[in-house]
Chains A and B, each alone.
Chain A
């Protein structure tokens, strides 16, 4: 592997972290969807690059799934949901954007710290790739818990999952990556359908059938 190859892989993975920050930063629904599409493209590129590097053609399928499913179908579906369900166009946050970004930076720092002791034998490529993947994962998770809006929570989950795919594709010769990415796509489809079915307007937890707080079995 030439230094250039790894630099490109590096760049792509790094751009995903950057895009994750951009996702965190967005406070408009449609802008968020656009940035997420970008995130998915970056993932697709990264996975495709890995497929090329590792001479693993099956990874191209994963890249394709990422491109089509997450880059096109899901954003479109979510856009439709936003319109149909009349979801607020601005994103309601639990913690305002500033502190969230700071916390996100801390998380990236944490990912690097926990990856530091990974033995050099793995090579800087894998180590830093992993650190990026972990950062993407944690930032996605952070988004899930700091956004009240159902659509942005789904996007948080998907970006978390992008981190996973990034890590899986970076792990050389890892089997089942395609199956896993398919599996996750199904999962996400379920979630999106679920949101649509249950008409979840604002949050995951207001499955908007009725006031569900009363039907949690044990009314206060």
Chain B
């Protein structure tokens, strides 16, 4: 099975080379994407088989290439299989979408060769059973996606995004390098097997810190998220879908692999930084998203929020595991991985939808969209499902993982330590807040893009996207629904993963009545997505039926009422900015140091009234600006060294000589 998976990676790399030549023509481009879809589907199948296979040891294949002084192992253990399934399922569907969407790229030769390499990199990370191939995959993933972000390289914004991305990705990889260096020890036992066997004591906290920095920067944990909202939207939409929906999951995998698998048994306090960062990430992510009017950037910021939710689950799992509460740890961990799965589905879906919109209108700015629900019905339906699902509303999948996380939070009084016991309720409140804000955010996203009246010519002349894209989006929407109403299957297939990560698994859910899930105890909590869904359908149908029987069938189309002041201009509609204004007032003044300036002409004056809103990115100002300033200032100061005279340079040599002589002379 591992061999199959490894050959899948090889195939993708081969496709990448083929892509250089195939990208010259549209059929070639389509072919490459179709092949990617097929390979990913195959890989997903392999991963699923591995996940459902009865528990067995890791069967890994040794590859004769790789690190010169070590051995390279590729293989699927339950953890990597779970992530491989998530990654490849989404990647397969996104590739299917790209068969239709990908041909619209302005320069396909800048996209097609890197796309399979990107997927191959992610798969390599998952398959790697040694530090070297892990990092090779990691860097390959970063590098390929960097090239993809640069595919529209003519816009300076994109170049800036790509630069920030590349630098931060590289910094993250270097911290992971340190982490592995620490784990491998001076003898360089780089295979995970060896690391687990040796498991040096006392390195755990540092590994945790490095994993938070390294994997966290890739995943988009605040304050290391800065690249994410720049880079994800800059790429072509199918790539954005992969970056946001899938690549961040690979980062989560990296964190889980390092902290849960390799770093040894956790201490209870490990959960504290994870939970704090996760909660801040969740809240800030959604607030950033709310302030954003660019559809793709909004989605990217929202990824930050979801990463926060995932890490809340992981932090809880750490706390529980450290205190020996294995069942609770399994619940929290399963919730996190379930959310990983969910997010990969709906975030890919939403990015594909935004791609369809972008393609149909040429606009990403929500202030210039509107009314697309009529021109693009299928896209609208799929996007709506994605919006509801991501807002964690039943009966879709986002709710289930959030519900599980809440259940895990409610178990936290069992924790013996005071700090997490005080912290967890606050985290829960943050989670609840961010969920509610997410709903607001996606009302805005869907409402401004698809509802109302078209705000520009481009929006009013849009047409539905192609068939491939529609099928891809609708199938993801269907998966969102299925995962929402049949969560038991997902939880059961995660059993082996939780067993591996925290040493326990949730009780099997498949035997429960109504296909409900019962994480702990039937008297404590249960949820049947299926039944809720069926009931809503029945209730809606019954109501509709009853109303139809009783009510008047007359329906008249007329101008909008609008309290008696209808205005023909679509400019009078609520805009994304005005929609978010109350929330900006409430939350933004602190977080973004938002400042509004209103220039209102006196009555009778015909001058234009102006409202200026200034938002500052406080994280960027507080963290990145000083670093950039420091580097720039140091570079500036040192740069004088380029313009010294020869005598000055000789003085340097002389000074170095005297200094070294003094050292030698004083050393005994």
Interface status of B67 (Cβ within 8 A of chain A):
no
Residue of B nearest to A94 (CB): B647
Interface hits, A89-117 → B, CB 8 Å: 94, 107, 110-111, 113-114
CB within 8 Å for A213 and B647 given contacts A141-B657, A145-B654? no
Interface status of A132 (Cβ within 8 A of chain B):
no
CB within 8 Å for A148 and B647 given contacts A110-B662, A142-B654? yes
**Judging by beta carbons under 8 Å apart, are B654 and A213 in contact?**
no
Residue of B nearest to A137 (CB): B657
| Chain B residues, CB < 8 A from A218 | 642-643
Interface status of A79 (Cβ within 8 A of chain B):
no
**Judging by beta carbons under 8 Å apart, are A114 and B647 in contact?**
no
Interface status of B661 (Cβ within 8 A of chain A):
yes
**Judging by beta carbons under 8 Å apart, are A205 and B665 in contact?**
no
Query: What are the interface flags for B623-665 relative to A under an 8 Å C-beta threshold, 1 for contact and 0 otherwise?
Result: 0000000000000000000110111001100100110011011
- When the two chains form the complex, which single residue of B647, B651, B661 contacts A110, counting CB atoms closer than 8 Å? B661
Q: How far is the CA of A144 from the CA of B654 in the complex (A)?
A: 9
Query: What are the interface flags for A186-220 relative to B under an 8 Å C-beta threshold, 1 for contact and 0 otherwise?
Result: 00000000000000000111000000010010101
Residue of B nearest to A134 (CB): B661
Q: How far is the CA of A11 from the CA of B136 in the complex (A)?
A: 66
| Chain A residues, CB < 8 A from B654 | 141-142, 144-145
Interface status of A153 (Cβ within 8 A of chain B):
yes
The number of chain A residues with a CB under 8 A from chain B is 20
- When the two chains form the complex, which single residue of B647, B661, B664, B666 contacts A153, counting CB atoms closer than 8 Å? B647
**Judging by beta carbons under 8 Å apart, are B643 and A110 in contact?**
no
Interface hits, A156-212 → B, CB 8 Å: 203-205
**Judging by beta carbons under 8 Å apart, are A107 and B658 in contact?**
yes
Query: What are the interface flags for B315-330 relative to A under an 8 Å C-beta threshold, 1 for contact and 0 otherwise?
Result: 0000000000000000
| Chain A residues, CB < 8 A from B643 | 213, 216, 218, 220
Q: How far is the CB of B667 from chain A (nearest CB, A)?
A: 9
Q: How far is the CA of A220 from the CA of B646 in the complex (A)?
A: 17
| Chain A residues, CB < 8 A from B665 | 110, 113-114
- When the two chains form the complex, which single residue of B645, B651, B661 contacts A203, counting CB atoms closer than 8 Å? B645
| Chain B residues, CB < 8 A from A144 | 647, 650, 654
- When the two chains form the complex, which single residue of B645, B646, B664 contacts A114, counting CB atoms closer than 8 Å? B664
Q: How far is the CA of A213 from the CA of B648 in the complex (A)?
A: 14
Where chain B touches its partner, the secondary structure class is: helix
- When the two chains form the complex, which single residue of A94, A110, A148, A153 contacts B658, counting CB atoms closer than 8 Å? A110
Q: How far is the CA of A32 from the CA of B651 in the complex (A)?
A: 21
| Chain A residues, CB < 8 A from B657 | 138, 141
Q: How far is the CB of B251 from chain A (nearest CB, A)?
A: 40
Q: How far is the CA of A111 from the CA of B654 in the complex (A)?
A: 14
Q: How far is the CA of A107 from the CA of B662 in the complex (A)?
A: 10
Q: How far is the CA of A131 from the CA of B643 in the complex (A)?
A: 35
User: Which of A114, A148, A213 counts the most chain B CB atoms within 10 A?
Assistant: A114
**Judging by beta carbons under 8 Å apart, are B647 and A204 in contact?**
yes
| Chain B residues, CB < 8 A from A138 | 657-658
Q: How far is the CA of A113 from the CA of B666 in the complex (A)?
A: 8
Q: How far is the CA of A205 from the CA of B647 in the complex (A)?
A: 7
Interface hits, A1-60 → B, CB 8 Å: none
**Judging by beta carbons under 8 Å apart, are A114 and B650 in contact?**
no
Q: How far is the CA of A205 from the CA of B644 in the complex (A)?
A: 9
Q: How far is the CA of A110 from the CA of B654 in the complex (A)?
A: 14
Q: How far is the CB of A177 from chain B (nearest CB, A)?
A: 23
Q: How far is the CA of A145 from the CA of B654 in the complex (A)?
A: 8
Residue of A nearest to B660 (CB): A114
| Chain A residues, CB < 8 A from B647 | 94, 144-145, 148, 153, 203-205
Q: How far is the CA of A144 from the CA of B664 in the complex (A)?
A: 23
Query: What are the interface flags for A127-139 relative to B under an 8 Å C-beta threshold, 1 for contact and 0 otherwise?
Result: 0000000000010
Q: How far is the CB of B647 from chain A (nearest CB, A)?
A: 6
**Judging by beta carbons under 8 Å apart, are A114 and B661 in contact?**
yes
User: Which of A153, A205, A218, A220 counts the most chain B CB atoms within 10 A?
Assistant: A205
**Judging by beta carbons under 8 Å apart, are A205 and B645 in contact?**
yes
| Chain A residues, CB < 8 A from B646 | 203-205
User: Which of A145, A148, A220 counts the most chain B CB atoms within 10 A?
Assistant: A145
Q: How far is the CA of A141 from the CA of B647 in the complex (A)?
A: 11
Q: How far is the CB of A128 from chain B (nearest CB, A)?
A: 16
Residue of B nearest to A204 (CB): B646
Interface hits, B585-643 → A, CB 8 Å: 642-643
Q: How far is the CB of B574 from chain A (nearest CB, A)?
A: 54
| Chain A residues, CB < 8 A from B650 | 141, 144-145
| Chain B residues, CB < 8 A from A204 | 645-647
Q: How far is the CB of B359 from chain A (nearest CB, A)?
A: 45
Q: How far is the CB of B98 from chain A (nearest CB, A)?
A: 45
Q: How far is the CA of A107 from the CA of B664 in the complex (A)?
A: 14
Q: How far is the CB of A153 from chain B (nearest CB, A)?
A: 7
Q: How far is the CB of A31 from chain B (nearest CB, A)?
A: 22
| Chain B residues, CB < 8 A from A148 | 647
Q: How far is the CB of A67 from chain B (nearest CB, A)?
A: 28
| Chain A residues, CB < 8 A from B666 | 113
Interface hits, A115-131 → B, CB 8 Å: none
Q: How far is the CA of A216 from the CA of B642 in the complex (A)?
A: 9
Q: How far is the CB of B655 from chain A (nearest CB, A)?
A: 9
| Chain B residues, CB < 8 A from A114 | 661, 664-665
| Chain A residues, CB < 8 A from B642 | 216, 218
Q: How far is the CB of B638 from chain A (nearest CB, A)?
A: 13
**Judging by beta carbons under 8 Å apart, are B651 and A145 in contact?**
yes
Q: How far is the CA of A92 from the CA of B226 in the complex (A)?
A: 55
Q: How far is the CA of A143 from the CA of B584 in the complex (A)?
A: 69
Query: What are the interface flags for B40-78 relative to A under an 8 Å C-beta threshold, 1 for contact and 0 otherwise?
Result: 000000000000000000000000000000000000000
List 21 interface pairs A-B (beta carbons < 8 Å), by A numbering. A110-B662, A110-B665, A111-B661, A114-B661, A114-B664, A141-B650, A141-B657, A142-B654, A144-B647, A144-B650, A144-B654, A145-B654, A203-B645, A203-B646, A204-B646, A204-B647, A205-B647, A216-B643, A218-B642, A218-B643, A220-B643
Closest 5 CB pairs of A and B: A205-B645, A205-B646, A114-B665, A113-B665, A145-B651
**Additional pairs, 20, CB under 8 Å, beyond known A138-B657, A216-B642:** A94-B647, A111-B661, A113-B665, A114-B664, A114-B665, A138-B658, A141-B650, A141-B654, A141-B657, A144-B647, A145-B647, A145-B650, A145-B651, A203-B645, A203-B646, A204-B647, A205-B646, A205-B647, A216-B643, A220-B643
